[in-house]
Amino acid sequence: MATIKLSRRIVAKTIAAGLLAEPSNTSKWIAMAAAYLIDSKQINKADQLVQDVAREIYVQSGTLLATVISAHELSVELRRHIADSIAKKTGAQEVRLDASVDASLLAGYVARTPDYEINTTAQYRLKQLKSLEA
């Protein structure tokens, strides 16, 4: 029996549509994504598939998913500021933040969407200053 090869982007579109249509059935769509990665021997591309699905959710629904890693818990005001900044930069109608804390950042945050990043961490700023010395 011949195997049909599916592109990662087609799979991402399908999974995004499924997640939007059946939000209560998330585990089904995650299992399908995992099966695709295993069957196509692309387990090392899981991060790319996740980014593709996030991009497709934005395209199909207008809701942009962003991950934010911060040195400290984000205040409501800062969450709103980050979401507004991302919306302004990307044109998204709605921005949803998935926030987590990583104390090793010391200060600031990193906000990422599939196509955009804001980095205000102390390490990033120090790196920028160091590059000016060279």
For the residues of 35-67, what is the DSSP string, one character each?
HHHHHTT-GGGHHHHHHHHHHHHHHHHSEEEEE
pLDDT value at 115 more than 90: no
Among the three residues 19, 34, 61, which one is the final residue of a domain in this structure?
61
Among the three residues 23, 40, 61, which one is the final residue of a domain in this structure?
61
- Domain limits for position 25: 1-61
- The reply to whether 6 and 40 lie within a common domain is yes
Most confident of 55-59, 67-71, 114-118: 67-71
Q: What is the pTM of this model?
A: 0.69
Q: For the residues 56-61, what does the mean pLDDT come to?
A: 87
